[in-house]
Amino acid sequence: MDQGTKICPNCGTKMTINAEVCPKCGAMQAQPMGSYATGPASVQEQVQSRKRVGMFLLWGWLSAVASLFIPIIGIASIVLGVLTIRNKHVSAGVVLIVVAAIFIFLGMTGFAEGFFGAL
Ligand SMILES: [Zn+2]
């Protein structure tokens, strides 16, 4: 991580460490001095966690859709859903797991054959 910059917790824009408001969205920024333990470090952690969850959900949904055709791929969706829940995005993770389970079921009961048969 670049020492001279920080990331806006609201919109993710990079800015100088001393900026008081985000140049893009205008959100007030945590100050670099002061309560360091609960300040920029945890804000950065939150942003990173959000980015991580974004990746989990992106790949989770892609593999959920893929599981309609190749049901075994749905296992990846469920794992990614669990990881999402562990990163405190419980509802997003639960929705992903439930949909992945339905898609796996549809995949195993011949959705792909029906789909390609209709083409
Ligand atoms: Zn911002």
Domain of 3 in residue numbering reads as 1-33
Domain identity same for 56 and 24 = no
Q: Is 98 a member of any domain?
A: yes
DSSP 61-77: HHHHHHTTTSGGGHHHH
pLDDT score recorded for residue 110: 82
Q: Is 22 a member of any domain?
A: yes
DSSP 42-58: HHHHHHHHHHHHHHHHH
CA of 76 to the centre of ligand 1 (A): 33
In tens digits, the chain (119 residues) has pLDDT values of: 556 888 998 999 999 888 888 999 988 887 655 444 455 667 888 888 889 999 999 999 999 999 999 999 999 999 999 999 999 899 999 999 999 999 999 999 987 777 777 76
Distance CA 17, CA 2 (A): 10
Q: Is 5 a member of any domain?
A: yes
pLDDT score recorded for residue 119: 66
CA of 34 to the centre of ligand 1 (A): 21
Domain identity same for 61 and 94 = yes
Domain identity same for 94 and 59 = yes
CA of 30 to the centre of ligand 1 (A): 12
Q: Is 41 a member of any domain?
A: no
CA of 23 to the centre of ligand 1 (A): 7
